[in-house]
Amino acid sequence: MIPGSFSYHRPSSVQEAVGLLAKLGDDGRALAGGHSLIPMMKLRLAEPAHLVDLAGIADLKGIRSDGNDIVIGAMTTQHDVIGSDHLGAKIPLLRETSLQIADPQVRYVGTLGGNVANGDPGNDMPAVMLCLGATYHVTGKGGERRVPAREFYQGAYFTALEAGDVLTAVRIPVPAAGHGAAYEKLKRKIGDYATAAAAVVLTMSGGKVATCSIGLTNVAETPLWAEEASKILTGSALDAATVKKAVAAAEAITAPASDARGPAHYRTKMAGVMLTRALARAKAKARG
């Protein structure tokens, strides 16, 4: 289908974009890579009268270190994330996850900021951001604020972003050297959204789990941070009985929809299978 008609704006600074979006209110929408928004517009599920394209704002692009954090500009594409050796060395989970998003064509234009701002529970990066303890930089009418990813997602397509807000960057603390991480995603075919997926970051010490964090994708209206499951695993040697208990705790917080990817019960169980696999792979990669 063809989208409804809209006016196109191309600001060259964050301030200009925020000013435009604040003035336009519900009639305006930020445009990043367009690979979630344009399909929605073609289906007439979104009909913004104005699109504010963020592509002309140089400040929104790039990957830099800031102390022990890595800060990634919102308009950095998934392709850029995959191509960054710096990120690959410091937070390899980001490259691993990006490679499981859609296909190369989508990744060339789809942005990290768009993926995390979209609020679609099917997006892969949000659960990874919960797992990594990321913080989002948001600029709005009242200036800049920082929102922890773990507090950002409030419902399907409903986030902490308010009218006029632009998500400018994602700040991620670099996990400890020697950590292990994995993203396991079950999909029906290449390029599909997850039936269920699990992200794990852990550190090991003396053969036992010293720290552990788990995120789950597409098994609720929002991405999930499986805090209780992580607590169960901490201090264990990831033996089968403890993993089973943690998987049960993770499954218990899921509430997936029954849809073309399978009935709710199946998707919950697949989240457990993905978590089991991610834990095993993360452990194999971890030193200590």
Ligand X SMILES: Cc1cc2nc3c(=O)[nH]c(=O)nc-3n(C[C@H](O)[C@H](O)[C@H](O)COP(=O)(O)OP(=O)(O)OC[C@H]3O[C@@H](n4cnc5c(N)ncnc54)[C@H](O)[C@@H]3O)c2cc1C
76/61 Cα distance (integer angstroms): 5
12/250 Cα distance (integer angstroms): 44
E strand map for 91-239 = 135-140, 143-148, 153-155, 158-159, 166-173, 180-186, 196-205, 208-217, 224-225
Instruction: Decide: is 110 part of the binding site for ligand X (CB under 6 A).
Output: yes
Nearer to ligand X, 26 or 239 (CB): 26
Instruction: Decide: is 256 part of the binding site for ligand X (CB under 6 A).
Output: no
**Shortest Å distance, C-beta 242 to ligand X:** 30
Site residues (CB under 6 A) for ligand X, limited to 23-62: 29-37, 39, 54
Instruction: Decide: is 113 part of the binding site for ligand X (CB under 6 A).
Output: yes
Site residues (CB under 6 A) for ligand X, limited to 125-184: 161, 166-167
Nearer to ligand X, 35 or 61 (CB): 35
Instruction: Decide: is 74 part of the binding site for ligand X (CB under 6 A).
Output: yes
Please check whether residue 165 is in contact with residue 17, taking contact to mean a CB–CB distance below 8 angstroms: no
Neighbours of 49 (CB within 10 A): 13
**Shortest Å distance, C-beta 159 to ligand X:** 9
Instruction: Decide: is 195 part of the binding site for ligand X (CB under 6 A).
Output: no
State the number of binding residues for ligand X (CB under 6 A).
Answer: 29
User: Given the rule CB under 6 A, which of 7-15, 99-107, 238-246, 268-276 is the region that contacts ligand X?
Assistant: 99-107
Three-state SS at 57: coil
Spatial CA neighbour of 80 closest among 93, 92, 95: 95
Give the residue, chosen from 18, 41, 94, 102, that forms a contact with ligand X under the rule CB under 6 A: 102
Structure tokens belonging to residue 175? 């996990």
**Shortest Å distance, C-beta 116 to ligand X:** 8
Instruction: Decide: is 218 part of the binding site for ligand X (CB under 6 A).
Output: no
Three-state SS at 104: helix
Structure tokens belonging to residue 218? 């597409």
Neighbours of 255 (CB within 10 A): 13
Query: Which residues pair with residue 262 across a beta bridge?
Result: 259
Nearer to ligand X, 35 or 283 (CB): 35
Instruction: Decide: is 123 part of the binding site for ligand X (CB under 6 A).
Output: yes
Residues near ligand X (CB under 6 A):
29-37, 39, 54, 74, 101-102, 106, 110-111, 113-115, 117-118, 123-124, 161, 166-167, 191, 193
